[in-house]
Copies of this chain bind each other. A is one copy, B any other.
Amino acid sequence: MAQITPTPIRLQEALYELMWHQSYGRVTIDAICERAGVRKGSFYHAYPDKATLAIEAFEFAWKNEAKPWLDDAFSPSEAPLTRLANWLDGGLQKTLQCQQEHGKVYGCPLFNVGSELSTLEPTVAEKVVEILRRNRRYIMTALRDAQAEDLIEIDDADEVARDVLTLVEGALTQARISNSADPIRRLPLSVGRLIGALIPRPSNLTVS
């Protein structure tokens, strides 16, 4: 078959979406193959197991979705706190769009799957930690700039960046559990409280 997209990529996309919408454990190899339009033999030709595929799926999603989005939202061309606003607003918009389409709030696949697999598939959990760390760098940079421009007063940008990410991921998980976007809607105020400043309105109104 002359597939438009190569098999490994289709498998990555299939597992990524399935485990985000359901859970890692609930997704069978058969389900991945069905969604990817591929037979099981091809799966095992491309990957030795589900965990290996999951790791590549996360990396693929980072490179093709998360990173471009974050690079845009956290562009140094914007004022530091506006970057945070763009990021939070972008997440909310994505959530609302997804909610309209599927009737569900799915939260953050990294956090969901990472928490599910930490004790069962350490290699996947390690990948999650790595990507979360990449996320944190964006926040830290913005906070440092905000501090340098006297927009906020914090002692340790790294520590506060951890807290911001923790709060945001916590809210995304709350949103998933309660199937409601409200915890995400509240985030600008909440993050503002945490860093001791008002998060402005976002500048960037595009949604992918």
Contacts and interface: CB of A to CB of B under 8 A. Distances in A.
A93 interface: no
A13 B178 CA distance: 25
Given A107-B115, A116-B112, A119-B104, A186 B159 contact: yes
A27 to B, nearest CB: 10
Tell me if A's interface is mostly helix, strand, loop or mixed. Answer: helix
A42 interface: no
Interface in A126-164: 128-129, 132, 159-160, 162-163
Contacts of A117: 23
Given A111-B177, A196-B196, A116 B23 contact: yes
Nearest to A102: B119
A31 interface: no
A170 interface: yes
Given A25-B25, A120-B22, A166 B189 contact: no
A50 interface: no
A91 interface: no
Nearest to A178: B129
A15 interface: no
A24 to B, nearest CB: 8
Contact of A190 (B23, B118, B163): B163
Interface of A: 21-26, 104, 106-107, 111-112, 114-120, 122, 125, 128-129, 132, 159-160, 162-163, 166-171, 173-174, 176-179, 183, 186, 189-190, 193-194, 196
Given A115-B176, A129-B178, A162-B183, 5 more contacts: A22-B120, A23-B23, A115-B173, A116-B116, A166-B190
26 contacts: A21-B119, A23-B25, A25-B25, A25-B116, A26-B120, A106-B119, A114-B173, A115-B115, A115-B173, A115-B176, A116-B116, A118-B177, A119-B179, A159-B186, A159-B190, A163-B167, A163-B190, A166-B170, A166-B174, A167-B167, A168-B170, A169-B173, A170-B171, A193-B194, A193-B196, A196-B196
